[in-house]
Amino acid sequence: MYLTKYFLPILKENPSEAQITSHRLMLRSGMIKQSSAGIYSWLPLGLKVLKKIEQIVIEEQVAAGHIPILMPTIQPADLWKESGRLNDYGSEMLRIEDRHGRGMLYGPTNEELVTDIFRSHITSYKDLPKTLFHIQWKFRDEVRPRFGVMRGREFFMKDGYSFDMDRESAIHSYNRHMISYLRTYERLGLQAIPMKADTGPIGGDYSHEFLVLAETGESEVFYDKKVTDSSLGERKIDYSDKQGIAAIVESFTQPYARTDETHDQNLFNKLPPERRLSARGIEVGQIFYFGTKYSESMNAEIVLPDGKRTFVEMGSHGIGVSRLVGALIEANHDDLGIIWPTPVAPFLAVIINLKHGDKKTEKVCEKIYENLVSAGLDVLYDDRDERVGVKFATMDLIGIPWQIIVGPRDLSEGFIELKFRKDGKRTRISFSDCSSELLNALRV
RNA sequence: CGGGCUAUAGCGCAGUCUGGUAGCGCGUUCGUCUGGGGGACGAGAGGUCGUGAGUUCAAAUCUCGCUAGCCCGACCA
């Protein structure tokens, strides 16, 4: 993409409404524009990041055997009457009336809809287990939206719903989700710690929130140092291996890790002092096994092998996709701007022409651009007539991982320069060799 | 929903107390110089001062209402 042909409305100064880093940087780098409180338009750069996160989430869900669907944003109020949540949900739910006077609502979540889909089509244990998920816009009419996309009213969320014939199978579904979430966060370049969550009136051990550690996090978290030392890494996951999956889940959830809501100081104090850590965290996902709460109220039954009927066991699982954009920035930035982890970067690299109007540098930039694009890489070419300082400042701000710097000085000696945004390290690369050496470097 | 604050050019702000020709920086347009970390000079464009009413010869400025946004708290993916 040639920058002069793109739409990248960056701001040099901080918008006064943005208080926290990610919100400020998202506005300054032209990723979003506020439309009203807690509701945003996603501009090209922001949309690219959002879609990259979405794609990774989808891939990991599909890898875990979960099935994508798409449910509507507008839902009929009748279904919510059935579950009893029409009254319970309160004014956080945006209620709408259509022209016929029918009660509608902008969905804050989808348990009712998905249960309705399930009960219409699945009646036998033979069709189980199944997990349906979708990634869709939700709306919660927060009293006080803030922190940009981290706590907007409209938000983009992956929510999945598992259906199982019995508790044992449902727990395996729960564990499967745990692993698929851990993998998702790792691929995004984030460390998210599963923390025991409040299960409310339903009770039980089966709810975890996933927290990313960041200074600006909204909750205080307490954890055993062990949890930040563990990662899935490259290991192969066999989602059909119940024991294996359960063992991995155990290894991640056994060490102490809780938010201030469920924190137990006495338990925490049993850890050796050097392993007791506390920090702030941003919640980026939650998984929940709630049994038959909705299947009972909405009458979603299945027939078991012995011919008896039973209510289907359910769980729901969410990842805040739009919130993750903010969380990623909170976890990856410096004074100059954003530092995107490569997997979610809006562009892998940017070619910076240091001397606009110089035929030779322009030609080299264009050649590099063509090479990289034809190699399948998504690169930006800063072909603006701007001073170098402006170009560097812009690119540092929007956080593209690699800067390919082309200027007459180095070029006269046959070199171009490659700078890594994260550590600022620069490498000189022979221009004659740039198609192979550069490609290798970018594919690290 | 309780408490606090704000609204003047695309963005950041001054002007409001003490009513009298609407200003600064950045950005933007044109030109010249410049060219390895937000450059210089010159010339422009751009605002019914959030909105409605009132007071006054005269309102960005004073009074009242309304709306929107932000912050702290309670609440939440």
Report the nearest residue to nucleotide B68, CA vs C1': A36
A335: CB within 7 A of chain B nucleic strand: no
Cβ count near A409 (within 10 Å)? 11
What is the rounded average pLDDT of the residues A248-263? Answer: 93
Residue A139 pLDDT > 80, yes or no?
A: yes
Q: β-strands A402-406, A349-353: how paired?
A: parallel
pLDDT mean over A52-64 = 98
What is the rounded average pLDDT for all residues in chain A? 94
Element at A380 (helix H, strand E): strand A379-382
Residue A244: domain span: 3-71+110-337
Examine the domain organization and report whether A280 and A299 are in the same domain.
Answer: yes
Nucleotides of strand B lying closer than 7 angstroms to a protein CB: 1-2, 11-13, 25-27, 34-39, 68-77
Can you give the pLDDT at residue A388? 96
Predicted complex ipTM: 0.94
- Indicate if CB(A392) is under 7 A from strand B: yes
Q: Would you state the pLDDT for residue A58?
A: 98
Q: Evaluate whether residue A137 is within a structural domain.
A: yes
Q: What mean pLDDT is predicted for residues A28-39?
A: 94
The band of A199, judged by pLDDT with boundaries at 50, 70 and 90, is confident
Q: Which residues of A142-180 are buried (b: 16+ CB within 10 A; e: fewer)?
A: eeebbbbbbbbbbbbbbbbbbbbbeeebbbbbbbbbbbb
pLDDT at A444 over 70: no
Q: A68 in helix, strand or coil?
A: strand
> Does residue A299 sit in the same domain as residue A227?
yes
Q: In this structure, are A257 and A353 located in the same domain?
A: no
Question: CA(A386)–C1'(B44) in Å?
Answer: 21
Assign residue A421 the CATH number of its domain: 3.40.50.800
Whether A219 and A116 map to the same domain: the answer is yes
Residue located via tokens 């089966």: A206
Q: How many angstroms separate the CA atoms of A391 and A154, rounded?
A: 33
CA atoms within 13 A on the CB side of A411: 18
CATH of residue A249: 3.30.930.10
Tens of pLDDT, residues A362-380: 999 999 999 999 999 999 9
Evaluate whether A318 touches A157 at the Cβ level (below 8 Å).
Answer: yes
Query: Residues of A306-337 as b/e, b for ≥16 C-beta within 10 angstroms?
Result: eeeeebbbbbbbbbbbbbbbbbbbbbbbeeeb
For the CA of A16 and the C1' of B19, the distance in angstroms is: 29
Considering the domain boundaries, does residue A99 fall inside one? no
pLDDT, position A215: 85
pLDDT of residue A402: 97
Based on the fold, state whether residues A246 and A325 are members of the same structural domain: yes
User: For residue range A263-282, what is the model confidence (pLDDT) as tens digits?
Assistant: 999 999 999 999 999 999 99
From A113-122, A193-202, A214-223, A393-402, the region with the lowest mean pLDDT: A193-202
User: Looking at residue A435, what is its pLDDT?
Assistant: 73
Model pLDDT, residue A207: 94
Q: Which nucleotide is at minimal CA–C1' distance from A109?
A: B77
Question: Of A337, A369, A395, at which residue does a domain stop?
Answer: A337
- Nearest-CA residue relative to C1' of B71: A19
Is A98 among the domain residues? no
Residue A17 has pLDDT above 90, yes or no: no
Residue in the block written with tokens 């524009």: A33
